[in-house]
Amino acid sequence: MATVERPRTDWIDLPPAIHEFVAEILDARVTSAISQMNGFSPGSADRVSGANGGRAFVKAVHRDRNPGAFDLHRREIDVMTVLPPTVSAPALLGSYDRDGWVALILDDIDGRHPGHDGDGSETWAVLDAFATFPRIDRSTQGRLPRVFDDIATEARGWREIADDGAANLLPEWAQSRLAQLRDAADAAPKAADGEHLQHLDSRADNVLIDVTQKAWIIDWPWASVGARWVDGLMYLFDCRVRDEAVDSDTILRTHPLFEGVDASAIDSVLSAVTGGFFNKARQPSPPNMPALREFQRKEGIAGAAWLRERWE
């Protein structure tokens, strides 16, 4: 998985009020904090331990550091309060929101990110975790956005690239198939619509594999409601971005998460997100996230390569 070079906020940089809040949750002073460097947020991400042996995972950011990340932390707090207990996700132990700081204190999952060996051996377990995501009842649906709307935004990527005369920025194959890619992407919102909880940021750095080989899904600010298979597809997409040895198309045919899903629906969503990545990659970098656009272009290239394999 990608390790992104960007300034992280360290545990020692957090205000004493957050240190004290975490100590209250642990019922002991914090004796160690180990920073986690994967991901894209410029905020903190620390596995902390208390003097009594208690543990937690703490993520925090200040509004001035990155307003977007600040809003996402707040959104994740809202999501974590409505996650059903059957979902394979860490529990929210507490949250802090004052003086320009927002922080989440979560169960610390003792595990590592999948894909370490590059052989795809943990892929099935990750997809099994996505399969724990339930159908969302009507009372909760209104508190979460819909995948339909997010995919509709991504699907406009190809059109915006063409309208701006920027098709020359695409790989040669994508330039030659631009109309087909656009038409496939146009069908993606309907294909991705549904009634199931979706994480919608299903990369390896948002998954932990524990000692029992169970997969836990972490970092939930983008949670939405949509077709139950979208997260699984995007995890397979991430495997390709990371060059992990995974037979994606065989898994699409055999894992129960994708049962009954038409190949054209897969192609539509792949096309939409690929166009979205290429479109975002040509935008200015967000504050304190200098490597993000380069990574998004890499994702676009991986998506285009997968579609080329499927279509040719």
**pLDDT of 282-298, one tens digit each?**
999 887 778 889 999 99
Cα angle for residues 254, 259, 263 (degrees, 5° grid): 85
Q: Average pLDDT of the chain?
A: 93
pLDDT at res. 41? 67
Sketch the domain layout of the chain as residue ranges: 11-108, 112-311
Pairwise CA distance, residues 238 & 232, whole Å: 10
pLDDT tens, position by position, 229-244: 999 999 999 999 999 9
* Banded model confidence at residue 143, pLDDT cuts 50, 70, 90: confident
- Give mean pLDDT, residues 49-68: 94
Q: Answer with the residue of higher pLDDT: 38 or 201.
A: 201
Q: Which amino acid is at 210?
A: D
Q: What is the mean pLDDT of residues 60-81?
A: 93
**What is the phi/psi pair of residue 104, to 5°?**
-115, 135
Amino acid 179: pLDDT = 97
Query: Which pLDDT score is estimated for 141?
Result: 66
pLDDT digits (tens, 9 = 90+) for 100-141: 999 999 999 999 999 989 999 999 999 999 999 999 886 776
Q: What is d(CA 242, CA 172) in angstroms, rounded to the nearest whole number?
A: 22
Q: Tell me which residue of 47, 20, 52, 44 sits closest to 32, measured CA to CA.
A: 47
Domain 112-311 class?
alpha beta
174-180 LR contacts (CB < 8 Å, sep 24+): 174/274, 174/278, 174/304, 177/307, 177/308, 177/311, 180/311
- State residue 1's pLDDT score: 33
Q: Which amino acid is at 17?
A: A
Band of pLDDT at residue 7, cut at 50, 70 and 90: low
- Per-residue pLDDT at 9: 83
The correct answer on CATH 3.30.200.20 for the domain covering 11-108 is yes
Distance CA 191, CA 60 (A): 35
Inform me whether the pLDDT recorded for 2 exceeds 50: no
Residues 170 and 162: their CA atoms lie apart, in Å, by: 10
**pTM listed for this prediction:** 0.89
